[in-house]
Every structure is written in structure tokens, then in C-alpha cells.
Structure 1
Amino acid sequence: MKSILYSALLAISCAGMLQACQPNSNTQAVQEEGKPLETDSVKIREMYDSSPVLSPGESLKKMQVEEGFTVELVAAEPLINSPVAMTFDEKGRMWVAEMQNYMPDTAGTGEELPTGKIVILEDKNGDGTFDDRKVFLDSLVLPRALSLVEDGLLVAMPPNLWYYEINQNKPGKKTLVDNNYTQGGNVEHEPNGLLRAMDNWIYSAKFTKRYRKKGDKWLIEKTHFRGQWGIAKDDQGRLYYNNNSQNLLGDYFAPGMGAANANQQHVAGFDVDLVGNNRVYPARATTGVNRGYQEGILNKELRLVNFTAACGPVIYRGGLFGERYSQNAFVAEPAANLIKRNILNEKGYQIKGTQAYAGREFLASTDERFRPVNLYDGPDGGLYVLDMYRGVIQHKFYLTDYLAKEIAQRHLEQPITCGRIYRVVPAKKEAKAVVVPQEPLQLVKLLEHKNGWVRDKAQQLLVDKKYPQAIPALRQLLKQTKQPVTAAHALWSLEGMNALLPEDVLPLLKQPQWSIRMQALSVLPSVMTTKNYTTFAQVLGQLVAQHDSLAAPYVAFLAPGIRQFDKPAADRLVQAVVKQYPANKYVADAAISSMQGREEVFYTKALAAKDTSSVLHVRLREVLEDMRNAKRSKDPELLAKEFPVGARLYKSTCQSCHGADGNGVKRLAPPLNNSNWVTGSKSRLIPIVLYGMTGPVKVNGMLYQTPDIIGEMPGIGHNKDLSDKDIAELLSFIRKSWNNNAGKIEAADVEQTRKAYKGRQKAFTMGELNTL
């Protein structure tokens, strides 16, 4: 039975919200199970000619979930509105970010208004349904991420990252952690996530910084660029993410490794495409996708063929689903109203994944407004699904005229006052939340729990509270090497409590289980000092001599830690591991990650030794070429003064895919620096920017195509916020930046191009452009 408070909210909530989210009597036709799919496009469009707003109960009926599972509603409007991110506290309460003003209409009118909130949802009567709502923060502009740390809450609100102390469920002292967390200007391409990882650092998607609270100070360090929306971890603490078209990317190595060399653009083993198959199987026609007009985007049943809005991944660690589902990757696809399941397999330090099913999904809905945007493990072992529940999910910046027409035809703009949170659980198992105690020794015991969320929360509380009485018990858990996951949590708990000792780590480096050695190698920088580095260097050297191929990349990653105490010893270690594995790209890139400022020295040594065929030599040559290009680049501040609008637009619109240095971003986009498309004829460049470019593209002789980059660059010509003068200045800025030196583009040039291609919807292909 729901609480009186929740019933009252349902009864007296503002009429606008209640009426807007009530079901429409004109429900859509649904394909009957067992019958062949309709392929007549006219009939299909008639079947799905409307997308009525359904009540939570009616929307549940439209879901098709894996046999043996059930989907339960745990919160809905008016209790929640437009949820995009959440975290659980130790009491089992949900802290949820509400992005209420995301795309109020196809023009994004009023999106900048401060209507966003951080709310606390609680299940007061313990029936599994959340029935109480407290507003922790309001008047926010598009809040996008949050994380509980110590006695406070980290909140991302463009462009800042704030930390609020929590006083009796109310915000207390406010501290600015970073005034440049997001660049602003494009909601789809701003950092998010704020995941507390096993190594006690906080990581984001779409970002190159990590954070950690140390007393009253916040530490900020460089890390790898990861994904687009959503970030997750596995039992070993490795990170997973994705971009719109690639449903699962991830790291082979611990997150703290390999980001030390600013001259190195890519490090092998990070940002790996783990599941090459990006096919999706919607339960309904999905004509309302941004590029549905293009050949190959929809199949003959008008259903999306491949991911176009992959987001919010989670590695299932809840323990409730059974062993078959442990460490499976679940990925949300709001554009196709479904959730994908992938099975991951590990071999050595490498991870590969395959889709769990052919021709179907773990969960799919025929309700077009079902928009899963983030997935989470819960304290009860359930899989939690955040559903923004709205018609428009594509941001205005890239919204095509085709999609705008689809939105208008089915009246998808409104309402924007709904939102649901679901829990997926096995049908025949009870999902019961674990009560997380405050007693230190009980928290240590929870590090052995089968539910990864419980283990994480226990570790986080031990780290946040710094309980000294827990330290002996944690050291005992380090000896339980038959439970490597528990030992890993104990190891990082000690590290986070500033209680980890070198003698805790040394025995673990000699364990036969790779997962334990991996954690010991990953934690080494936290215990290495001027007094003990020689001992650790010796052990690392022994691992190389023993042909420990799994440890080899880590040995190279750890060289900077030794180098701060003994440069020759670090160089000997790098040379030894590279010599042992001359054809291993992971070892080579790990070695280069330890060489910042000394790349030329190592390259010259390789030449002197006539070692020009090794992977290290090849990779070093690429890095040195990037460094030379960077030195030749023009002063960005001077260009920003000459083209202020162009510089601002590049930073907010283009930089997240093409990079601040114009050299492109792996998995996203090719380089603009020294690009023949940028410096060549403006008659080809302007159409690309106005209407987009699809398919493979050759830049200075190198072919870029999926999965190396996203298959299409969307045009911005339909964006009514950008004038022809704005676009001309953006292109002029790009044509003058870095090593480019091409002529300016005028507003008249953009206007003329629009007239020449008036009415065009399709993006250009390389073949078309080459004829211009």
C-alpha cells in the first residue's frame, strides 16, 4: 500500500502535470505475437500514426522483457520528473537529477530556465515503491550528474562542478570544485557520470579529468577521455562507456594507468570497442530517429537497424539475476525504446563482448515515449532504469527537419512533466534491499557480499568515515586470495583510508591469480616512496624476467612512479619490458605513456640500435609527428580574438568530437588539422557543415570509417540559433587554426550554398562531394 503522502500527491498535484501525463484513448496498434512483421511502409505508418501519453501502468504493458524477468514501477510522476542520473545512499534512498527543461520543444525554447532539481526519493513503508519526495536542490539549469562523497553531494551543473555539504537532508556549505567541468553550448556533448570507482577516484564520461576529495581539498588529475553519456565499472574496477553508435567501449587496464603523457593521443587498451555488433531489434517502428530518412538507418519494417543513441551502460553486479548474468553489460537505447544485453568474456587482460540474443532484446517497448537514459545496479540486486518518458530525446543542435516533422505529426513535443523509474528483477526471486550498517566491522563483512552495489557502498563508507578499528579486519581480508574481488575491495579500502602499507602490497604481487596481481600493480603508486621504491622496482623487474605477459603493460605504466626517485632505474625497467615484448602494442604504448618529454631520446636510442621494426619505434614516430604538428600550431588566443564567435562555436560544438588541437577524437571524428576538406574548396566544406557528411571519408590519404569514427557528422544548417555569419566565422576560424592556412569564408558564401541546396535533407557522401 502506498503512503498517504504519495496518494495525496497523486490527487492534488497540479492539473497541468496530471492531465499531461494521462493516457490517451487512441492507443496505437501493436504487432500481434507470432504474426509476420508488416513490411508495407504505408500500413506501418498507419499502425504507429500516434504516440499517446500512457500511464505508467499502461506503459508497463507495452514492455517485452526477457523470459523469467519482470519489470516493476518504483517511481513515477508527480514523484519524479525527467530523471537523467541517480545514486543510492546507504539508507536505500535515491538521489536523482531531474533535467526538466531539456528540449521543451524542437527549438529548445526555455531550455536555459532554472527548472532542474536534485531530489531525494524514499520508500517510507518498505513496499518496494518510492513514496516520498524531498527537493534537495532546485532552480538548477540542466543538472546532469551527482555523486555522494563523505557528508556531501557532488553535483554537475554546466559549467561548474559543486560540492554541497548535507545537513539533515538540506544543502549546507557550497564549494566550487571545478569551474570548467563542462564547456557549455551542447547538452549532448558535456561531461557526466561522476562514478566513484574502485580506486577511490571519481570518473566522468566525455571528459579528461578525475576527482578525489582529500580532507578539505579536491584533487584534480588528468585521465583518459571516455565515451559520451554514462559510465560504469566491473568487479575489477575497470571502466566501461559508449558513444551514440557504439554500444560498449571500455578499458583493459585499471583507470589510473596510462594517462601521464600529454603528448600521446591514444593508448592501446583504453577506449576499446568491446562489442563490434551494434545491431538493435526494436519492438516497434522507429521512424522518429534523427536520420530515419537515410538508406540503411531503418529496415523494411521501418525499425532502427543499428544503435543511434546508445547511453547509460551498466555492468550487472547485483547478484540477484544469477551467474549467467553476472558481469553482463546492459546498454540503453532511448531512440529505439530498448535495453541491450551483452555477454563479456575475459582472456588475460583483454575483454570481448557479444550480444546475448539474435533478433531480440533483453527489454523492448512499443511505447515511443519510453526513453531509458541511464541504468544502475541497486541495493536489492535489481537493475534500475531511468526513463525520461517524453517524445523528444534528440537535442536541438543536431535535430534534422525530418525528425522535426516526425515530432509534429505525432505531437511528441509535450508533455515534458513525466518521468518513471523501473526495476527489473527475476520473476521468482524476492528483491530485498540490504540494510547497510554504520558499524565498522559489519561494513568490512559486507565487502564479501554477492551484490556489487553493497560492496561498493561498504568500501565508500569505510573510506569516507576512516574507521581505524576496521583496519585489522581489512588486512585479514587481503589474505583471502580465494576471494579476489573481496581482497580487491579490502585493498582499495585501506588505500582510501590512508592505511595501506607496502608490506600489504608486496605479497599480492606474487600471487598466482592475475586479478590479484593486477590490483596490487594498480595500487603501487599509492605506497611507493623514496624509501621503498628500490624494492618495488626489483619486484617489477622480476615479473618481466619471469615472462609475466599480463603484468608487462602495468610494469611500463608504473615507470613514472619510479622515475621520480631514480631516472636510470625507470629507464632500465622500460627498456627491459619493451625488449621482452617488441611486438606488443599494449606494452609499447604503456612505455610511451611514461616518456613525456623524453620521446626523442628513446626514439634516437631505437634508431641507434637499428630497432626500427618494433612496435615501440612505430608508435614513437607517430607521437613525435603529433608533437611537431602541435609546435607548428598557431596561437589559439590570437585566433579567438580575430574570430570570437567562431572560437566559441568551435569549443561548444566541434571540439568534443574533433579535439581542442583539431586532430580528431578516437571513435568520434577525423582530424580537421591539415585536412584537405578544411583547407580545400569552400564549395565542398560549406555543404558538409550545413548538411552533414555520411559514410567513410578520406582525409589526406587515410580512410576513416566506422568503428574508427562515428559514421556520420550531422549538419548544423537547420539550427535556427546560428546565422550564416556565425557559421562563416566558425569555418574561417577552423581554416586558420592549427597548421591550416586557408582563406576566410563570408556569410554570403553560406547563404549562396543554402540557396544551391534548398530543400536538401540528406547528408553528403564523399563521392558526392568529390564531384563538386
Structure 2
Amino acid sequence: MKKEILLAVALVATGVLLATCSQSKKEAEAVAEEPGFDSPRIVNSDPKPGYMTPEESQKAFRLPKGYHMELVADESMLSEPVAISWDANGRMFVTQMETYMQTVDTTGEHQKGSRVLLLEDTDDDGKMDKRSVFIDKLMLPRMILAVGNELLVNETDTYDMYAYKDTNNDGVADEKRQVYHTDKKAYGNLEHQRSGLDWNLDNWIYITVDPVRFQYKGGMIHADSLISGSNGQWGLTHDNYGRLYFSRAGAENAGSGFHINPSYGALDFADAYNDTTFGAVWPIIKTPDIQGGLKRIREDTTLNHFTAANGQSIFRGDRLPKTLVGDYLIGEPVARIIRRAKIINTDGKRTLQNAYDKEEFISSLDMNFRPVNTYTGPDGCLYIVDMNRGIIQEGTWTGEGSYLRKQILRLGLQKNIQHGRIWRLVHDGMTRGPKPHMLDETPAQLVAYLDHPNGWWRDNAQKELVLRGDKSVVEDLKKIAVGKKGPLAETPSAVARIHALWTLSGLDAIDKDVLSEALEDDDAQVRKTAVWVSEPFLKNGDEDVIGKLEALKDDADYDVRIQLFLSLSRSKSSKAKTIAEGILSSNQGNQMIAGAQKALNKTEDIKKFGTKMGSLNPGNRKLVVDGAAIFNSLCATCHGQEGKGVPTKIAPPLAGNSQRYFRNKDAMVRILLNGLTGPVDGKTYSENMVSMGANNDEWIASVLSYLRYDIGLSERRFPGSVSEDFANRILVKPEEVKKLREESKGRTKPWTWEELDKVSGNK
């Protein structure tokens, strides 16, 4: 029982060099110094929806002065690409969703007809010329990560992960082994399932959506629950210092979850960016194929706001202008653009600002340009995965009677399938960097790359060192971590010292002497990293380390103070708690520290909620647990954590409506089965509630059981536990959903509240 409750807690919790990745306000105001465009933005109000050749598409880009797009691979080598992972030798693995939306009705979408390709540039001209099918017969593979000589792969509709290996060097995987398994079935529309597998600086592998992160040790994936849940939808990235950046396309949120690491809790700010200025997008072509209808189109016929923000990256390369390094890049495939944002640091709080005034960094006249992922590549340039297709939205939004479906069929966009491109962004006067050969090099050689100017090299050198577990380099790493040359030709940079600390941590070789020196480093980000790395000592209540940390409680840099406050929360030491309370007291005006405290408190509340669920029988507990996972990874995207709404106000908040949760059970079921349209409480929202009826009866029952049990009970101030009889009355059972599904059979349009009040009554 205790194990089940702990698992329930984790799942209910679902309810996250050359320049730095943040800037001061003064630096942000200097954006005008960045070269602009050769001509003013002009909208093409009559774009051609048909296929463009790669050469035509290449000419269709609008870019700032000095930037150019190069073709790396096209449909002669690939089709429907969605993600890339390079191995440590720079070989490119491309995952393809080849059955995705091949018709407007999703025909054959869940067949095992997708592949992972291996692409290579053998003559070093920058264009792929060698191709092999590394893995075939996959079901919409969605996550890949190269680790050593293997490739980790996750497919749609499952949580399982496998490692694939090519043992005879023919470009085809001939070994497959399972590295992660759970009996739980992945749920939801494929647009709402996980993405990522981002190996962060802290040696944890992060994903979106699901309340978990992973470590890869001993050739296996090991999971760690995120008590307050994860974040995001399609796309995940990190900066030079291990800060993660998520986005929530469903909530039209182009950046979220980047304030604190999700292992501490969930923290977002309504003013993380100005929704009026940052949320607005600026395509250069008419954009009729949008699911929100005419209200999402401005007078010049273009999309007026983010709807599909995804595939973000922090540019960390060394072969594009320094002014781009550390900037946040995110695709908007409906607008056919890629946004570039400056990251503003105000007393430790990050906000996003468009680098241009009513312009986009990259935009295209090609109606089939669909940027779904961006990356810093081994050569120091920016890579863009262009799915290059007519339909980008999944079938849930293209159903009979929808505005989007009419536009797709009118333009013939459903015909544009089985294409795809990978582009490279380059700049005048800058050449591509050399190929890596890390898989063939010794640990001692890899150590030197921790100070490479390209973040891709630093990340992969660290990953390789941790994977190999070779401690012969520990002494060299210690020298770098404390700022001594050691194996490096020059005094190690701050980012090198940060990577050395994390590599030592990954090798379980960090010691208190190194920590002590790093905590006194001149660079604030090194000090912050040292605090973060010290957490195993804090967890064990090491008084020596806690004493060293106390000296940083009034650090001049807010990032250090914020990290200290968060890390001290991991300790049960009374002295650590006292220091944390002092930081909170002396920084009462700081939004980040106040927000961090709320996040930590929420995490504790979630733990207590698990106790409340302990009074439920196993069947009812499973309903609520499963519903929590679904709600907080899918529904919360638009309705907010705990149903409190999101900054973009795309959907009504659910908190505060306990009458509907308790007195209109049937109405809530009908909404999930068929959707909801029209005003809600007298207010009209930019998007309708789409039908979730494609999910089975148990799925719908679970979501509503969680909503009625958690949010509903909390609002009505019920005690910490409830009787089984009362729980049976408020929870939604699959058989109740089945009955209402039969009653609604044949209905194709969403409900209105007026209709629901008539047919459902107060049940």
C-alpha cells in the first residue's frame, strides 16, 4: 500500500563560452545593433499551396542581413522528419513520422510504417550524401538520443524505450535491447505525448509532458519522479548552465518552465513575456489554415498569435554571430516562421523579448515550410527540421465541420505529404566547424573539449565521459573545476569549470575540497553550479558543506541566492532550514525567491494529497491517479495547474466551479465526448474545447474523477480523506461514460452550456 501511495503522489504531481544565455535590460535594449533586413516586411496574400522544390523553397526564406539557408538533406533522402540526434562522431540520426496525417482523416496513422535514418556527409561539402535505414517498422517514433555507440528510441503510444546498435558498421541496427519498461500505457492524442530526451548538464535526461526524468547508468534507464510534474509539449532544450526551456503549444505559450528546474516544483510567471507583443507573430504569407478560425487572422490575412510553438533551442554554437549565442529560438509551423528571442535577466527572473520589432528571425513564403525542431549542430551552425507538408495539425482538429478542414480541402494541402528538409543556417564570412570523432578518442582527449566554444562539443564530451565511467581523468577534471590549466592550454573558462563540476558529479567523484573552491569562484554561474552540485552532501546533512553554503546567503548574484534557497530545501538539517528561512526573509521583494517558496510548498502539498488518496480502494485510486497524469500533462496546458488558468487565457479556469463538478457530472462527460463551444460564463475564448471522445471510456472517467476529487474536493474544503461511499458518488465510472457515449451517438458538433443544462440537469 505504501508503495502504491508513493507512486500515486508522483503521478498526481503532474498537476518543467562566447556569450551568456541571459542579458541585462541594458543589453536587451542594444538589440537594435543587430543587423536588420534588406527590405520591409511585405505579406504575400496569395501564396501557392502546392509543392516547392528544395531550390524554390531555399529562395523563399526571409532572413536578416548576412544570414543564408543551406540545404543539408531533402526528400530524395528522407520523408516526414521530426527530430535529430547526432552521435559523438557527428553522424546524424533522423526520426521520421511517416504515417502522420497522410489524409485529412488520419488514415493508417497508427501503422508501424515509420523509420529512423542514418545520414552522413562523406565528402564534407555540408550536404548529406550517404543514407541508410537504421531502424524500420516503427510506430511514429518521437524521441531519440545517441548514447555512445547506441541510439535510444521511444515510439508513440508507449513509455518503453529501446537501445539500438549497429555492430557490423553497415548503417543498419542489428541489436535491440529494452532499457526502460513500464506496464502503464501511454495515453492521449499523439500531439499530446512526450518529446525530448534532453541530456542536461546535471546528467539527468529530461522529457516533456510526463512527470519523470531519467538517468542512464549501467546501460539502463532509471526513472525519478517529478513530484510537481513536468512541463511542455513538443520541444525541449537547455542553456549553457542547465536551465531547461519548455513550451506549451496547446496554451499558445511560446516559453514556459524555465524559471526553476522541475525537480523542485512548478513555477511560471504570467509576465514571463508580454503576450501582446511577444505572443504576436509576423508571417510573410497569408495563413488561412488555422484551427481557431477567422478570429485568429489579422487584417493583413496573417496569423496573429502563436498557436503551435514548438521545437525550441538555445543557440550555443560558434559559427554564427556572437549576438545570436544564448538566444532562444522557437518554431511556429502554422505561421511558417522561427522566432528569435532575447532572454532578459532581472534579479534572477527571466523574461523573453522578440529580437525584432514586428518581424521574425526566419520566415518563409513556402506554405509547406513546417519547422518542427531546431538544434545547435556539431559544426557550430543552427539546424532546422522542416517537415515540409500541407497539414501540420493532428486529426483531432481536422474533423468534419471544422474551419480548419474546410481550408485544408479548399487549398489541397492534404496532397502535400512524404516530403521533408533539413536546413542549416550560415552567415557571411563564417565557415562550418570540423567534424567530431569523440567515439574514437580517449577520455583524456575528451576532457579538453569541455572548454570548446561550441556547446554541442562540451555537452557530448561530458556525456561520453560520464557514460564511460573512466575515473582516470578525475584529477584533470578537478584542476579544471577550480580554474587551473591542467590538461588545457589556457586557463579554463567559466563554462569549462561548470562542465568539469558536472562531469565529476556524474562520475561520483566530486569532493568537498573542489566544492569549497568552486563556491568561492569569481563567476556567479560557477558558484551557482557548485551549490547545485552540493545537493548530495546537503541531503546527508553534511554540516561542513552547509557551513560553506551559508557564506553565499547574501551573494551579490540573485541566481546564486535562488539556487541556494532551492538546494537547501533538499536538506533535513535544521541549520539548512534556518539559512533558507533567512534568505526568504531578507529577499522578500524578490519575485523568484517568493515564487520558489510557493513551488516548494506546492510540492509538499502534493505529497500530503497522496495520504488523502490512501483512503480509496485500489480501483478508485487508479482512476484518480491516472486522471491526474492526464489532466496535468494535457488539460493543464490550457486550463492551468490545479485548473487555475494560464497566462494566455486560451481556456476558462476550472477552479472555482465546484457546482459544475458536483452537480453536473453528466455535463462534464458530454463535454469530453463531444467538446464545448460558445461563451463560458459569459466569456468567449479564442479556442473551443475539442472532442476527446477518441479516447476510451476509462480515460474520460479518469480525467473527470481527478477533476471532481482533487479540485472539486479542495474547493469545498473537505477533510484530508473521504469515505469510500462518498468517493463512489463523486467519481466518474467507465460504465457511466459508456452510457452517455451511446446516448450521444451520432452527434458530431460540440455542446453549448445551454444545451447541457437542458439534457443533463443537476446530476
1:696 deviates by 8.3
The whole-number CA distance in structure 2 between the counterparts of 1:390 and 1:354 is 29
The 1:578–1:483 alpha-carbon spacing in structure 2 relative to 1, beyond 3 Å, is same
Deviations 1:535-564 (A, max 9, x none): 01112223236787543333332235432x
Aligned counterpart, 1:620: none
1:227 aligns with 2:232: yes
Aligned counterpart, 1:421: 422
Please say which of residues 133-142 and 172-181 is displaced more in the overlay: 172-181
Give the letter aligned to residue 81 of structure 1: S
1:162 deviates by 1.6
The 1:325–1:746 alpha-carbon spacing in structure 2 relative to 1, beyond 3 Å, is closer
The whole-number CA distance in structure 2 between the counterparts of 1:683 and 1:478 is 61
Give the letter aligned to residue 108 of structure 1: T
Aligned counterpart, 2:345: 346
The whole-number CA distance in structure 1 between the counterparts of 2:631 and 2:112 is 22
Aligned counterpart, 1:387: 386
8 Å CA contact 2:524–2:557 kept in 1: the answer is: no
Give the letter aligned to residue 676 of structure 2: G
Secondary structure (helix, strand or coil) at the match of 2:254 reads coil
The 1:368–1:351 alpha-carbon spacing in structure 2 relative to 1, beyond 3 Å, is same
1:459 aligns with 2:445: no
1:185 deviates by 3.1
Secondary structure (helix, strand or coil) at the match of 1:406 reads helix
The 1:655–1:493 alpha-carbon spacing in structure 2 relative to 1, beyond 3 Å, is closer
The 1:539–1:146 alpha-carbon spacing in structure 2 relative to 1, beyond 3 Å, is same
Map 1:307-318 onto structure 2 (within 5 A): 307-318=306-317
Deviations 1:228-280 (A, max 9, x none): 11001111111112111111224234x37514xxxxxx4468x9835641111
Aligned counterpart, 2:509: 499
**For structure 1, which runs of at least 5 residues remain unmatched after alignment?**
1-31, 39-43, 260-265, 600-622
Please say which of residues 659-668 and 92-101 is displaced more in the overlay: 659-668
Aligned counterpart, 1:29: none
The 1:730–1:754 alpha-carbon spacing in structure 2 relative to 1, beyond 3 Å, is farther
The whole-number CA distance in structure 2 between the counterparts of 1:650 and 1:592 is 20
Map 1:686-697 onto structure 2 (within 5 A): 689=672, 690-692=674-676
8 Å CA contact 1:663–1:673 kept in 2: the answer is: no
Given the alignment, which residue of 563, 577, 589 partners 1:571?
Answer: 577
Deviations 1:207-240 (A, max 9, x none): 2211112224432112351211100111111111
Given the alignment, which residue of 151, 154, 174 partners 2:152?
Answer: 154
1:199 deviates by 0.9
Aligned counterpart, 2:205: 202
Secondary structure (helix, strand or coil) at the match of 1:692 reads coil
Give the fraction of aligned pairs with identical amino acids, expressed as a percent: 25
Give the letter aligned to residue 105 of structure 2: A
Map 1:59-138 onto structure 2 (within 5 A): 59-138=57-136
Give the letter aligned to residue 96 of structure 2: E
Aligned counterpart, 2:550: 541
8 Å CA contact 1:195–1:202 kept in 2: the answer is: yes
Aligned counterpart, 1:664: 643
8 Å CA contact 1:63–1:366 kept in 2: the answer is: yes
The whole-number CA distance in structure 1 between the counterparts of 2:320 and 2:513 is 38
The 1:390–1:742 alpha-carbon spacing in structure 2 relative to 1, beyond 3 Å, is same
Secondary structure (helix, strand or coil) at the match of 1:73 reads strand
1:638 deviates by 3.6
Secondary structure (helix, strand or coil) at the match of 2:71 reads strand
Please say which of residues 745-754 and 351-360 is displaced more in the overlay: 745-754
The whole-number CA distance in structure 1 between the counterparts of 2:184 and 2:239 is 25
Secondary structure (helix, strand or coil) at the match of 1:571 reads helix
Cα RMSD after superposing both structures = 4.1
1:714 deviates by 3.0
1:303 aligns with 2:308: no
The 1:358–1:112 alpha-carbon spacing in structure 2 relative to 1, beyond 3 Å, is same
Aligned counterpart, 2:486: none
The 1:748–1:493 alpha-carbon spacing in structure 2 relative to 1, beyond 3 Å, is closer
Aligned counterpart, 1:714: 689
The whole-number CA distance in structure 1 between the counterparts of 2:67 and 2:396 is 38
Aligned counterpart, 2:408: 407
1:54 aligns with 2:57: no
The whole-number CA distance in structure 2 between the counterparts of 1:62 and 1:282 is 12
Aligned counterpart, 1:377: 376
The 1:36–1:109 alpha-carbon spacing in structure 2 relative to 1, beyond 3 Å, is closer
Give the letter aligned to residue 494 of structure 1: L
1:186 aligns with 2:184: no
1:443 deviates by 2.0
1:128 deviates by 0.7
Deviations 1:555-588 (A, max 9, x none): 332235432xxx4334333333334334555445
Secondary structure (helix, strand or coil) at the match of 2:83 reads strand
The 1:499–1:653 alpha-carbon spacing in structure 2 relative to 1, beyond 3 Å, is closer
Which structure ranks higher in relative contact order (CA pairs < 8 Å, sequence separation ≥ 6)? 2
8 Å CA contact 2:96–2:115 kept in 1: the answer is: yes
1:385 deviates by 0.6
1:142 deviates by 0.9
The 1:284–1:742 alpha-carbon spacing in structure 2 relative to 1, beyond 3 Å, is same
The 1:283–1:694 alpha-carbon spacing in structure 2 relative to 1, beyond 3 Å, is farther
The 1:540–1:548 alpha-carbon spacing in structure 2 relative to 1, beyond 3 Å, is farther
The whole-number CA distance in structure 2 between the counterparts of 1:339 and 1:486 is 30
Give the letter aligned to residue 127 of structure 1: D
The whole-number CA distance in structure 2 between the counterparts of 1:727 and 1:499 is 45
The 1:536–1:711 alpha-carbon spacing in structure 2 relative to 1, beyond 3 Å, is farther
1:110 deviates by 0.8
Give the letter aligned to residue 411 of structure 1: G
Please say which of residues 146-155 and 94-103 is displaced more in the overlay: 146-155
Deviations 1:30-72 (A, max 9, x none): xx9879758xxxxx4xx34x51112211222222122211111
1:350 deviates by 2.1
8 Å CA contact 1:662–1:673 kept in 2: the answer is: no
Give the letter aligned to residue 420 of structure 2: G
The whole-number CA distance in structure 2 between the counterparts of 1:143 and 1:431 is 30
8 Å CA contact 1:647–1:733 kept in 2: the answer is: no
8 Å CA contact 1:161–1:177 kept in 2: the answer is: yes
